[in-house]
Amino acid sequence: MKNKWTLWALAAVLAMGFAAAEKVHIMWSGAITGPTSDAGKYYAQGIEDYCSWANDTGYVSGVEFVCETRDDQYNNANTLRNFEEAVDRGDPVFLGYSTGGTLQLKPLVQEVGVPFIPASYHIGNIDPPDNDYIFLPIASYSEQVIAVLEYIAKVSPGAKVAMAIHPSPFGRAPVEDAKKAAGELGIEIVEVQEMAKGLDYTATLKRFENKGVQYIVYQNVAGPVANMIKDAKRLGLKVKHAGAHYAGGPDLLRLAGDAAEGFLWVTAYYMPHEDNAAAKFVKELGAKYGRPADAIESVHYPSGMLAAAIAIEAIKEAGEAGKKISAESVYQALLKMNWPNKLAVGPVTYSKDDHVGVDQLRVLEAKNGTFLPVTEPFSSSLFRKVHYGK
């Protein structure tokens, strides 16, 4: 009889617990199909899996996350519709994707006051005006490119550099800062070429060769970069290649094969083959939720995880501060965030004046089909000077 009452009491407590679990919606709007979906599909999977992990482990007590990944097909109008739906539902945070979509939504994000974490690391997302509620997960494209220029200046003083960029705001984002930084570093940016995905880059590469270019720095996605470096190898050019976060990674190695050897890549994420807690965590989650090897190895998978992780951590901190989970409480939690996360090479830190999460980056080099770090995590010493003038 006593056991029966104990069981009833336990059931009642559990039922109360379930009843009290608050459902918190987090929406991501990005390209699962259409342009850049090669990155977007893995990014979405990273978000889904981190949310599932948070729910399965009861990471935030009393909260059940309902994470939706919506395919906006890289179309700003779709992104806007998804964002409006999330705002109307009262979502406390929104996960974005493209540069164009984020820049277009800035005034609305400012107006509604919902924290917004994009996959685009364009510095314009967090520059004034309308920049209070947007938070970059890692250092901006500008900082990434300047970091790799700093490395180039160190190993090849006075080098001649060309930039090959995506023909979009995403591609153009770091150009002005890179030019200023090159001046400070004593290297020369001889040409900036916009390059769409094409069948042949001979003309561009031969022109670069005629101008004595030693390094090509890419702010692009892996597909066109792979084709360009394969063409450079075919033409027998001695030029070296380097790129920002979305230009490189295991996807590039898969697409370019041997031609990627020596590629210098800057990112804030660990590689899955590394022997550390971050790589172990990513592989564990990928295996747990049945992701294929190409997803687990893609840098876009942990990138999506980090965006979701930042949102969930802010919700956790808002809850622990005894506040109702809302856009405002999550925003306040983000402004105080100093979180030694499991995914990137540095902690996620934000403040009122700093909306860049992970400030540290590493330069990695492709060697024998693997990206290996050639620097310790570091912050660009020049970025703040050239971008903010301080």
Partner 1 sequence: MSYFFQLLVSGIVVGSVYALAALGFVLIYKASRVINFAHGHFIAIGAFTAYALATSLGLSVWIAAALALAFTAIVGYFTERIFLKPLVGQPIISVIMVTIGLASVFGGLIHMTPYGSGNFSLPDFLPEGGVSFAGISVSYPQLLAVVFTGVFLAAFGWFFQRSTVGIAMRAVADDQMASMSLGVSVEKVFALAWAAAGVTAAAAGLIVGAISGLNLEGLVGIGLKVFPVVILGGLDSIPGAVVGGIIIGILENLAAGYLDAYIPGGGTGDVFPFLVLLLVLWFKPHGLFGTEEIERV
Residue closer to partner 1, measured from CB, 127 or 209: 209
Q: How far is the CB of 388 from partner 1 (least distance, A)?
A: 25
Classify residue 154 by burial, with Cβ atoms within 10 Å: 0-12, 13-18, 19+: exposed
Q: How far is the CB of 66 from partner 1 (least distance, A)?
A: 24
Q: How far is the CB of 364 from partner 1 (least distance, A)?
A: 20
CA distances from 156 to 48, 167, 186, 362 (A): 42, 28, 10, 18
Which uninterrupted H or E stretch holds 101? Answer: helix 99-112
CA distances from 158 to 151, 188, 209, 362 (A): 12, 7, 16, 22
Residue closer to partner 1, measured from CB, 73 or 104: 73
Q: How far is the CB of 320 from partner 1 (least distance, A)?
A: 38
Q: Which residue ranges make up the site for partner 1 (CB under 8 A)? A: 31-35, 37-38, 40-41, 165, 167, 172, 191-200, 202-204, 206-207, 210, 222-223, 226-227, 234-236, 251, 254-255, 257-258, 294
Residue closer to partner 1, measured from CB, 92 or 101: 101
Residue closer to partner 1, measured from CB, 251 or 313: 251
What's 177's DSSP letter?
A: H
Q: How far is the CB of 32 from partner 1 (least distance, A)?
A: 6
Q: How far is the CB of 299 from partner 1 (least distance, A)?
A: 14
How many whole angstroms separate alpha carbon 167 and alpha carbon 100?
12
Residue closer to partner 1, measured from CB, 42 or 331: 42
Tokens in use for 44? Answer: 């979405």
Residue closer to partner 1, measured from CB, 166 or 316: 166
Question: Which residues are bridge partners to 367 per DSSP?
Answer: 370
Tokens in use for 127? Answer: 């520059």
Q: How far is the CB of 82 from partner 1 (least distance, A)?
A: 18
CA distances from 231 to 200, 213, 366 (A): 7, 15, 17
Q: How far is the CB of 171 from partner 1 (least distance, A)?
A: 9
Tokens in use for 148? Answer: 């790799």
Residue closer to partner 1, measured from CB, 204 or 380: 204
What's 139's DSSP letter?
A: -
Residue closer to partner 1, measured from CB, 232 or 310: 232
The answer to whether 270 and 279 are in contact (CB under 8 A) is yes
Classify residue 254 by burial, with Cβ atoms within 10 Å: 0-12, 13-18, 19+: middle
Amino acid at 359: D
For 135, half-sphere exposure in the C-beta direction (CA atoms, 13 angstrom radius) is: 32
The answer to whether 361 and 377 are in contact (CB under 8 A) is yes
